[in-house]
Amino acid sequence: MHGHHVLASIEEGLSRIPLLDCHTHLDATHLVARGLHDILLYHMVISDLYAAGCPSGARLSDEPDEAEAHGRIIEALPYLSFIRNTSCFWGVRIILRDLYDWTEPITADNWRRLDGIIRERSGDGEWAREILRKAVIRRACTEIVKRGDGSADDALQYALEWAFFTRAQWGVNDIPLYELEATWGQDRPAPPLPVTVGSRPPVARPVRSVADAQEAIRHYCDLLPWGEAIATAQHLSTDIDYREVSDAEMKAALARRDQATEAERDVYASYLLNAFLAELERRGAGMVFQFSLGAEPLPYETASRLSQRTIGQVAEIVERYPGVRFMCFLSSQHANQSLCTLARELPNFTVAGYWWHNFFPSIIQQIMDERLDMLPTNKQMGFFSDAYTVEWAYAKAVLVRRELAEVLARRVQRGQYTEEEALAVAEAILYEAPQQALGMEPGKFW
C-alpha cells in the first residue's frame, strides 16, 4: 500500500478511537467559550501575539468583562497576520472552521459578528458535550475547585491543584512556606496561588517551627478530597536542589527566613515535598502525584528549561516513595529520552502527553516516536489538552491525532507494525493507559 493510502487509512481509524483527556482546566460553569476571546486569546496564542509585538503579554482575567475581552481582541487584531504560520493559530482555525463554520480571516470589520456567533452558542447547554462527542473525548480531568455544582460530573473527573511547595518564584525565597501557610488557614481546597505572586496577603497561621510545618502538612492532607480527586498536581522547579532534609536543617533554615537565600528555599521545598509524599504513601489512598517539569517563570509565562541534575533528583524522589504513583507532564523536548529511561526502570513512574512548550507538531512527533520505541503502552498517556474550554480540547485532539497518524504510518510502512497493531497501540495509549495508570473512567454522557 502506498504511503499516502496508509496514512489516510490510519487517520480514518484514529478518528474513531476514544480519548481520555488527563489534564485540563475546564470550568464546569462555562465549559465552552463565552466569546471570541476564549478561543483567540487562549494563553498559548497570547504568547504568539506578544512575541509578534502585541503590547499585552498577560493572560486575561478568569472572568473578563466585556471591556477587557473586547479591548484585548481589538489590540490583538493588527498582529494576527504575523502569527498565521504558528501551530497555535492553526488550532484557532481548526476551532473556527470545524465548530463555528467560520473560514474568513478575523478582521476589524467582522470580529464582532464572529464573537456574537460564539456567544450565542455558549448559551446552549448541550454544546459542550456535542464538541466532546465530535472530538471523541470520553472524559476530561480538571481542577476540583472548578467542579461547580457537579452538573458536569458526567463529562469530568477531578484532580487537586492547591499548594505548590516546589514551584520557585523569582526573588521570593520563602515561597514554599507561604504556599503551605496559605492553606493552613483554609478549611477546604481553594484555587492555587498564581505563577507570579505580587503582593502577599498576611496568613492566619504562619509556619515558625518544624512542628508547625509538620502540622500544616497534616492539615493539608486531611483536607485532600480523598475519593473525589484521582490526582494531585504539582510543579517541580528545576532551580530547586532536591534532597532529604533533616529536622535540624529545617529548624536552622526557618530561623533564617527573614534573610532566606536560594539555599533556604531549597531546604523548605525539599522538606515539605518529602513530608507530603511520605504522608501520601502512609495513607495509601491511591491518589496519583502528577507533576509538571521543565517550564520556569518569565515575566508573563514560562520558558522551557530543565537541568540534568533535576532529572537525576526526580529519579531519587520516585524511588524513595515506591508506594506513590508519579506521573510527569514534561515541557522539555530534549529531556524526553531521559525521562523515558526513568520510566523503564521505576515501576511507579509514568509519562503523559505533551505539555506546554512541547505542544508543537514537530516536538509531539519526536516524543511519540521515542516513547513508542522505549516504553510499554501502559507507561505512557498519549493525550492531554491543558485546555480551558472544550473548543481547545477539540483542537488539540485533532492535532494529536494528526501527528500520531504520521508516526504510526511510518512504522507500518517500515514493517514494524501492521495497520491493525498500529491502531491497537493508539487505543492503548489514548484510552486504556489513562484508565490503568490514573483511574479515569469513560464519561456517562455518551
Separation of alpha carbons 345 and 42, rounded Å: 37
Q: What pLDDT, on a 0 to 100 scale, did the predictor assign at position 1?
A: 53
Q: What pLDDT, on a 0 to 100 scale, did the predictor assign at position 171?
A: 83
CB 83 within 8 A of CB 48: yes
Q: What pLDDT, on a 0 to 100 scale, did the predictor assign at position 197?
A: 76
Q: What pLDDT, on a 0 to 100 scale, did the predictor assign at position 68?
A: 98
Q: Tens of pLDDT along 145-174?
A: 999 999 999 999 999 999 999 999 888 999
Q: Parallel, antiparallel, or unpaired: how do β-strands 326-330 and 302-304 relate? A: unpaired
pTM for the model stands at 0.96
> Long-range CB contacts (< 8 A, 24+ apart) of 370-374?
370/336, 370/337, 370/340, 371/336, 371/340, 372/407, 372/411, 372/425, 374/337, 374/340, 374/341, 374/343, 374/344
Q: What pLDDT, on a 0 to 100 scale, did the predictor assign at position 285?
A: 72
Q: Parallel, antiparallel, or unpaired: how do β-strands 137-143 and 288-293 relate? A: unpaired
CATH class of 136-438: alpha beta
- 234 backbone φψ class: left, alpha, beta (φ>0; ψ -120 to 50): beta
Give the domain ranges of the chain.
32-130, 136-438
Q: Parallel, antiparallel, or unpaired: how do β-strands 380-381 and 349-352 relate? A: parallel
Separation of alpha carbons 340 and 18, rounded Å: 25
Dihedral sign for Cα atoms in the order 360, 35, 146, 188: positive
Amino acid code (one letter) for 223: L
DSSP 61: P
Residue with cell 501502559: 378
Q: Parallel, antiparallel, or unpaired: how do β-strands 295-297 and 302-304 relate? A: antiparallel
Separation of alpha carbons 139 and 19, rounded Å: 8
Separation of alpha carbons 436 and 432, rounded Å: 6
Residue 272, H or E segment? helix 262-283
CB 279 within 8 A of CB 319: no
CA 367 to chain centre: 16
> Long-range CB contacts (< 8 A, 24+ apart) of 177-183?
177/207, 177/213, 177/254, 177/257, 177/268, 177/272, 178/203, 180/207, 180/213, 180/216, 180/217, 180/220, 180/272, 181/205, 181/206, 181/207, 181/216, 183/216, 183/219, 183/220, 183/223
Question: Using alpha carbons only, how large is the chain's radius of gyration in Å?
Answer: 22
Q: What pLDDT, on a 0 to 100 scale, did the predictor assign at position 284?
A: 84
**166 three-class SS:** coil
Amino acid code (one letter) for 412: V
> Which residues of the chain, if any, have pLDDT below 50?
none
CB atoms within 10 A of CB 413: 14
